[in-house]
Amino acid sequence: MATDTYFPSLGGTLLDDPVDEAKIFDPMTQVYLDCLFGKEVFYAKNVGIRSKDHILSLVETEKKALCPIDTKRWILSDGMTTLPYGHWRIMIYKNMVKDGIPHKEAEKRAMRAKLPEKYQNECVSHISSSPT
């Protein structure tokens, strides 16, 4: 049905032909994967034109382009899941570790934890009391 509706001139060949893996491969995707899972830092070079006292010159700068370390969020042990600093689950995790629960188990329990009902009302009270 879809091939007749959307691709009447192609006759479904676009959807039936398998796509070669080499054509799908994107080098930038590999760079991102290496950065995330290989813990590699990537730098980028930039060449720019600068002018000083009416004299033009080329200046090359190098900056950090990709870094696996996210310093603005709390990174969980899987390396992908993050929480903002100050999140209530982080406090639960720290309390469990302080009580002697192993790190992995404390993290699992903290991520499964539900916010108590009394705190849920405090979080949304400012939204419900706003004038409309």
Overall pTM surpassing 0.95 (yes/no):
no
Taking the C-alpha atoms of residue 122 and residue 132, their distance in angstroms, rounded to an integer, is 19
Instruction: Give residue 85's pLDDT.
Output: 86
Instruction: Give residue 12's pLDDT.
Output: 54
- 81-111 pLDDT per residue, tens: 888 888 888 888 999 999 999 988 988 888 8
Q: Which residues of the chain have pLDDT under 50?
A: 1, 125, 127-128
Q: What contacts 34, CB < 8 A, 6 or more positions away?
A: 40, 42
> Cα–chain-centroid distance for residue 87?
17
For helices 88-98 and 103-112, angle between their N-to-C axes, nearest 10 degrees: 140
Instruction: Give residue 14's pLDDT.
Output: 55
Q: How far is CA 48 from CA 44, 45, 52, 55, 122, in A?
A: 13, 10, 13, 14, 52
